[in-house]
């Protein structure tokens, strides 16, 4: 027995050390990692995870991932004084079927839970309160490579907001898509478009978009759990919310089967699960806290995109530089003559949002009342339209304009007309005698305030509203 025990001890001493979870530079100086262990009652292996909608203390997580008997489990979480998740409370309870669940578990429109199903290359949907998979979509006929591993709707305030993004394992194929109601409380997947330039390496699973203002991220970015590479990678994303592959940086290494991914809406912490390595849940702290949702008739969220954007709050007499992810009250004046800003506004009283970029002008934010408010942007840059010496007049502003690019209930207003968007890129320009509306993409509804009539202006066209003679 002594010889046997000595042999076992010697073998253990000579075995390679277990891989350690390591934050990579430069992230290691800003972020901290905590392994909160395995949720009791959830069978291995773990799949994707997210907070139960409408709660901050209940976690939903896939168990028995990739298997026909896979299911979705609910377990309580413990938070410390700062709101950070530090552990689990009680034993998980099985709440819904989730056969073949994988890295993607996310809420979509209507409170429907969308789940990636691997290796069956399917998308499952579970309606609120349901304990079954209410709809299953085969993705092969839609052009998705086998097999879907993760899904996520791009959150408000990020490029491509509202789009459905999907990734396949293990080839890393990346897709942009949309959804449309099917009349049964679930959704059809439409407009599936492969993005070849965004094919992800490392065996992608769950992915998330990084909160604006987070340290070491200089622009719109995402994190991807890489199962094959045993890592989490950071990427910059383009204007459509698709990853820029050449920008890849290792965020965490030394994992064992990185799987799910989600951001905690309370603290901004990043949580991910592992498929292997003891089926663990890891918490990364240090990210910027998420900006609260815009309140109908009260606030909009503003995110500087490029250049310098300045704002003048109601009651103030001076402009200050807009900070990342700042929430602005209605009545704020925004100067984008030297920058570009993304505005996220309430689209309805149920929590929906609208998003568009604005640039090359100065405007004041307003919003109409009702269950479906329209966000208004009134051009307010001063014009010099009086008579005077030609040399003096030449130095003063004779025109003002504003470009917009996006969709949702936005209306830009000049002196003689206003333009309500229908998903487009457009420009409104005021002069002393007219308002010009020019459409570069999509279409807008122009309201001629002088003639008191509407006109639809489509891409490549323009409309001029003139003052009364």
11 inside domain: no
pLDDT digits (tens, 9 = 90+) for 264-281: 999 999 999 999 889 999
* Stretch among 76-80, 94-98, 274-278, 435-439 having the lowest mean pLDDT: 274-278
Exposure b/e, 423-447, CB count within 10 A at least 16 = b: ebbbbbbbbeebbbbbbeebbbebb
Q: Are residues 81 and 164 in the same domain?
A: yes
Q: Are residues 268 and 306 in the same domain?
A: no
pLDDT at 370: 82
Average pLDDT, the chain: 91
Q: Are residues 125 and 161 in the same domain?
A: yes
Mapping DSSP onto H, E and C, the string for the chain reads CHHHHHHHHHHHHHCCCCCCCEECCCHHHCCEEEEEECCCCCCCCCCCEEECCCCCCEEEEEECCCCCCCEEEEEEEEECCCCCEEEEEEEEEEEEECCCEEEEEEECHHHCEEEEECCCCEEEEECCCCCCCCEEEECHHHCCCCCEEEEEECCCCCCCCCCEEEEECCCCCEEEEEEEECCCCCEEEEEEEECHHHCCCCCEEEEEECCCCCCCCCCCEEEEEECCCCEEEEEEECCCCCECHHHCEEEEECCCCECCCEECCCCCCEEEEECCCCCCEEEEECCCCCCCCCCCCCEEEEEEEEEEEEEECCCCCCCEECCCCEEEECCCEEEEEEEEEEEEEECCCCCCEEEEEEECCEEEEEECCCCCCCEEEEECCCCCCCCCCHHHHCCCCCEEEEEEEEECCEEEECCCEEEEECCEEEEEEEECCEEEEEEEECEEEEEECCCCEEEEEECCCEEEEECCC
Number of domains in the chain: 2
pLDDT at 7: 34
82 inside domain: yes
Q: What average pLDDT does the segment 148-168 reach?
A: 94
Mean pLDDT is highest, among 13-27, 178-192, 366-380, for 178-192
1 inside domain: no
What span, in angstroms and rounded, lies between the C-alpha atoms of 226 and 232?
6
Per-residue pLDDT for 400 more than 80?
yes
Q: Are residues 307 and 274 in the same domain?
A: no
pLDDT at 423: 76
Q: Which of 236, 253, 285 is the last residue of a domain?
A: 285
Q: Number of C-alpha atoms within 13 angstroms, CB side, residue 301?
A: 21
Q: What average pLDDT does the segment 190-201 reach?
A: 97
Per-residue pLDDT for 4 more than 60?
no
CATH number of the domain residue 33 falls in = 2.115.10
Q: Are residues 274 and 308 in the same domain?
A: no
CATH number of the domain residue 373 falls in = 2.60.120
pLDDT digits (tens, 9 = 90+) for 25-49: 999 999 999 999 999 999 999 999 9
Q: Are residues 281 and 305 in the same domain?
A: no
Q: Higher-confidence residue: 319 or 12?
A: 319
Q: What average pLDDT does the segment 396-417 reach?
A: 89
Q: Are residues 260 and 353 in the same domain?
A: no
Q: Which of 285, 314, 336 is the last residue of a domain?
A: 285
pLDDT band for 305, please (50, 70, 90 cuts): confident
403 inside domain: yes
pLDDT at 408: 84
pLDDT at 393: 45
pLDDT digits (tens, 9 = 90+) for 340-372: 998 988 877 666 678 889 999 999 999 988 888
350 inside domain: yes
Share of the chain above pLDDT 90, in %: 77
Given the structure tokens 């993607």, which residue do they identify? 104
Q: Are residues 308 and 232 in the same domain?
A: no
Q: What average pLDDT does the segment 306-320 reach?
A: 94
47 inside domain: yes
pLDDT band for 10, please (50, 70, 90 cuts): very low
pLDDT digits (tens, 9 = 90+) for 92-144: 999 999 999 999 999 999 999 999 999 999 999 999 999 999 999 999 999 99
pLDDT at 349: 67
Q: Which of 285, 312, 327 is the last residue of a domain?
A: 285
Per-residue pLDDT for 420 more than 50?
yes
Mean pLDDT is highest, among 13-17, 64-68, 420-424, for 64-68
5 inside domain: no
Host domain of residue 185: 19-285
pLDDT at 350: 64
Per-residue pLDDT for 449 more than 50?
yes
Q: Are residues 262 and 371 in the same domain?
A: no
Among 147, 69, 133, 70, residue whose Cα is nearest residue 101: 70
Per-residue pLDDT for 390 more than 50?
no
Pairing of the two strands 270-273 and 281-285: antiparallel
Q: What average pLDDT does the segment 224-250 reach?
A: 97
Q: Are residues 181 and 220 in the same domain?
A: yes
291 inside domain: no
Q: Are residues 199 and 331 in the same domain?
A: no
Q: Are residues 318 and 247 in the same domain?
A: no
pTM: 0.81
Per-residue pLDDT for 150 more than 70?
yes
Given the structure tokens 């069956």, which residue do they identify? 120
């Amino acid at each position: 027995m002594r010889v046997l025990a000595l042999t076992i001890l010697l073998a253990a001493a000579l075995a390679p050390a277990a891989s350690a979870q390591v934050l990579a530079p430069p992230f290691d100086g800003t972020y901290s990692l905590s392994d909160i262990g395995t949720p009791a009652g959830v069978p291995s292996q773990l799949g994707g995870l997210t907070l139960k909608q409408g709660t901050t203390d209940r976690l939903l997580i896939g168990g028995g991932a990739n298997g026909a008997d896979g299911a979705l489990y609910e377990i309580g979480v413990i938070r410390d004084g700062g709101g950070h998740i530090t552990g689990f409370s009680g034993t998980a309870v099985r709440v819904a079927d989730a056969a073949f669940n994988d890295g993607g578990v996310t809420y979509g429109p209507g409170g429907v839970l969308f789940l990636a199903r691997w290796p069956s290359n399917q998308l499952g949907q579970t309606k609120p309160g349901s304990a079954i998979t209410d709809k299953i979509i085969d993705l092969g006929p839609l052009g998705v490579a086998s097999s879907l591993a993760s899904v996520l709707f791009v959150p408000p305030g990020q490029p491509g907001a509202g789009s459905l993004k999907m990734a396949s394992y293990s080839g890393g194929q990346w897709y942009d898509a949309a959804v449309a109601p099917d009349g049964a409380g679930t959704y059809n997947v439409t407009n599936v478009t492969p993005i070849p330039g965004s094919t992800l390496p490392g065996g992608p699973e769950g992915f998330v978009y990084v909160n604006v203002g987070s340290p070491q991220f200089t622009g719109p970015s995402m994190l991807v759990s890489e199962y094959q590479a045993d890592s989490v990678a950071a990427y910059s994303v383009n204007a459509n919310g698709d990853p820029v592959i050449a920008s890849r940086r290792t965020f965490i290494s030394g994992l064992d089967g990185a799987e799910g991914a989600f951001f905690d809406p309370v603290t901004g912490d990043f949580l991910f699960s592992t498929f292997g390595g003891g089926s663990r849940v890891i918490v990364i702290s240090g990210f910027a806290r998420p900006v609260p949702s815009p309140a109908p008739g009260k606030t909009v969220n503003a995110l500087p995109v490029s250049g310098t954007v300045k704002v003048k709050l109601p009651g103030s007499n001076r402009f200050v530089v807009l900070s990342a992810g700042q929430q602005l009250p209605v009545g704020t004046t925004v100067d984008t003559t030297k920058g570009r800003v993304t505005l996220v506004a309430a689209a309805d009283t149920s929590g929906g949002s609208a998003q568009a970029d604005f640039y090359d002008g100065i405007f004041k934010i307003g919003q109409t009342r009702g269950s479906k408010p329209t966000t208004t942007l009134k051009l307010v840059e001063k014009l010099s339209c009086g008579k005077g010496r030609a040399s003096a007049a030449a130095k003063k502003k004779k025109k003002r304009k504003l470009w917009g690019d996006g969709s949702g209930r936005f209306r830009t207003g000049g002196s003689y007309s206003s333009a309500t968007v229908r998903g487009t890129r457009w420009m409104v320009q005021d002069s002393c005698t007219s308002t010009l509306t020019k459409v570069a993409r999509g279409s807008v509804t122009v309201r001629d305030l002088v003639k008191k009539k509407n006109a639809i202006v489509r891409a490549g066209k323009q409309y001029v509203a003139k003052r009364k003679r």
